[in-house]
Structure 1
Amino acid sequence: MNRLVTAAITASLALSGAAQAEVLTIEGMAPAHSPEFAEIGSLSIERFGGSDGRALAFELEDRLSAVNIHDEPYFVVIGGRSAVQPDATLSGNVTAGVEEYETTAKRRRCVERNDKGKCVTHKNIKVDCLTRIIDYRAQVRATRYSDGRSLYAESFPDKQEQTICFGDDEDFASSESVIRNMVSQTAGAVRNDLAPREYRQDIRILESRKGMSKVEGNFFKAAIRMTKSDPVEACRMWDEAAGNGQVHISLTFNRGLCAEQRGDLETALMLYEEADRLAPGKSEVTQSLRRVSDHRRASEEWELRRSATS
């Protein structure tokens, strides 16, 4: 799958279905994909060559200037000539080629109509078509200003192929709009590579009571109902159940969510690890372990950055 759209698809899948079940809202931070930038406070956008390099440079300047973490600007983006020396410079190249060629393809078409003009016979027949291919490639590099060391170098290839045949009820999308979208996706991917991101996400609790006694199950179900109006009370009830010696994957996982929600990442990680021992490989647990580990790493990098740039 094209890496430019992976993040957007992942976020969409993570949130899908949450509205159909009880959830707890988690706030956290995902780390930058390039931890070297934890110590980079200022950036200068240098020359971007190629047919669409200027467009990517402007898009990167806008995206990186807009990054805020804990209500603080993450980068100082220096544009144009300046007496201020940046910590790092960004440069690169963008090319987008458009190729069209004639071809043929089979399409379902009407081959016979009645006297009222209504189609009575359809057949798959070979028709003339035109195929358009937009081949896009961007390269982005970051260099530390003080010693010229390369901090980041990535390529962002993308391709869109579209075929329109005679009689189709569609037309080519504007090649300019397609390329503009590719440039925007590249800027978004670079932004996620260079800087962390904060998120607010609804995570489904586990509701299965299989294996609980009737009394345990009823108490657990009552806590589930509380998540709609008073999640703090729901978490207190689950802690009470655990304090009374109850052990269950749903209880342990939900207590992990509660700890994560209140920002106690160490306890959340401990509870998710316990849940993983109770139900090895369970996807909800695996995802939560990864999410909390990423949040911890992002927080550590944030503290390192504050120390280095203060």
Structure 2
Amino acid sequence: MASFITCRYVARVAAALAVVTAGTAVAEIITISGRFPARNREASYLQRLAIDQFRGRDGAQLANAIGNALAEARNGSGPHFMLLGDPGARADGVLSGSATSDWEEHRVQLTRNRCVERAEPEPGKKGDGKCTRHEDVPVPCMERTTSLTASLRIVRTRDGAIVYSATKPRSETISWCPGESPSRSAEATIASMIDDIAGETRGDIAPKGETYKVRYREDRTGLSKPLAEQFKAVLRQTKIDSPGACAGWASIDREQPGQHAILFNMGLCAEERGDYPGAIDLYRQAGAAKHGDDVKVAIGRAQSLIAGAEDEARFRRR
């Protein structure tokens, strides 16, 4: 009876796929959306954040960039921070810091491929003849190293505790030779570094929503032949019907419990619907059946999603 049901299931899924995915080859993945906590959760709990004056040659530019980045931070309920210009104006925390850049240029000898031998110019034509041999030769060039060091910290006003502290150095070296131009100016490099630090700081202290893709496990080892065929059909179904595919994994598990790929794929389905503790339990069972880096990554991701959900509940109560 089970074999008949399996064959009928496979035929039904195959018919649907023949219409929707004829001739295509798409990776068997699941798309999941979730909310992750800030890397520094304590700092993310400060709702009213004042940005104090930043010291250093590039301090004001960095302060403005961080302010713009934090203004775009969102939690599940809306804008994450209320940004204040006055550190004493009812702020829950005060962000301060410094930023100083520098650059230096010096001569270097680099290797470039150059023409070292030419044919005689054609009669009646001006200029050099056609190049007949190239070689890598030493060339006098210029090199510029641009650096930026930023220091940041957030002090919680109610108790004076430093809840966030970071030093963010950046460095870039570029070179150019005769006939070439530097890829960008030192000023443009510094501006890019400042924007990068601002974006990184937002990730440090603000939560984020993310939509990501995870590949299903595809190993059918250990399954009976009929269930292995059903596995292949469910795997194809993931391209057009994720809920139906999740029901398919559960159906196979009821027929033959404990196969590692089925457990892992059921964990992905649990993660997709927001059952993160259930997902972790299934990932651990899958890992016990067959170790893999994907299990470690999945467990860590689900644990982060649990923290993100806890923080979102906290933000809603603010």
> TM-score normalized by structure 1?
0.87
- Give the drift of 1:148: 2.4
Unaligned runs of 5+ in 2: 1-24, 122-128
**In structure 2, what is the equivalent of residue 148 of structure 1?**
160
User: d(CA) in 1 for partners of 2:116 and 2:204?
Assistant: 54
> 1:241-277 CA deviation, whole Å, 9 max, x = no partner?
1112333221111100011111111111110010110
The answer to whether residue 76 in structure 2 is matched with residue 64 in structure 1 is no
The answer to whether residue 171 in structure 2 is matched with residue 166 in structure 1 is no
> 1:133-157 CA deviation, whole Å, 9 max, x = no partner?
1011111111112232211110000
**In structure 1, what is the equivalent of residue 268 of structure 2?**
257
Query: 2:312 is matched with which residue: 286, 302, 305?
Result: 302
**In structure 2, what is the equivalent of residue 225 of structure 1?**
236
User: d(CA) in 1 for partners of 2:299 and 2:146?
Assistant: 40
The answer to whether residue 245 in structure 2 is matched with residue 239 in structure 1 is no
- Give the drift of 1:76: 0.6
User: d(CA) in 2 for partners of 1:204 and 1:292?
Assistant: 15
- Give the drift of 1:22: 1.3
CA RMSD for the aligned pairs?
1.8
User: d(CA) in 1 for partners of 2:37 and 2:308?
Assistant: 4
Give secondary structure in 2 for the equivalent of 1:269: helix
User: d(CA) in 2 for partners of 1:237 and 1:121?
Assistant: 65
The answer to whether residue 51 in structure 2 is matched with residue 45 in structure 1 is yes
Which residues in structure 2 correspond to 1:62-211 (within 5 Å)? Answer: 62-79=68-85, 81=86, 84-116=89-121, 117-167=129-179, 169-211=180-222
What is the number of equivalent residue pairs in this alignment? 287
Percent of aligned positions that are identical: 33
Aligned partners of 2:100 and 2:150 also within 8 Å: yes
Give secondary structure in 1 for the equivalent of 2:89: coil
User: d(CA) in 2 for partners of 1:29 and 1:39?
Assistant: 15
Query: 2:283 is matched with which residue: 272, 292, 295?
Result: 272
User: d(CA) in 1 for partners of 2:161 and 2:241?
Assistant: 52
Amino acid corresponding to residue 87 of structure 1 in structure 2: D
User: d(CA) in 1 for partners of 2:169 and 2:280?
Assistant: 37
Comparing 253-262 with 144-153, greater Cα deviation is found at: 144-153
The answer to whether residue 290 in structure 2 is matched with residue 285 in structure 1 is no
Give secondary structure in 1 for the equivalent of 2:281: helix
User: d(CA) in 1 for partners of 2:221 and 2:130?
Assistant: 59
User: d(CA) in 2 for partners of 1:131 and 1:35?
Assistant: 41
Query: 1:25 is matched with which residue: 22, 31, 36?
Result: 31
Question: Which structure's CA Rg is the greater one?
Answer: 2
Aligned partners of 2:43 and 2:154 also within 8 Å: no
Aligned partners of 1:38 and 1:304 also within 8 Å: no
> 1:67-90 CA deviation, whole Å, 9 max, x = no partner?
1111422111112x4873110011
User: d(CA) in 2 for partners of 1:298 and 1:262?
Assistant: 15
Aligned partners of 1:106 and 1:127 also within 8 Å: yes
Aligned partners of 2:77 and 2:315 also within 8 Å: no
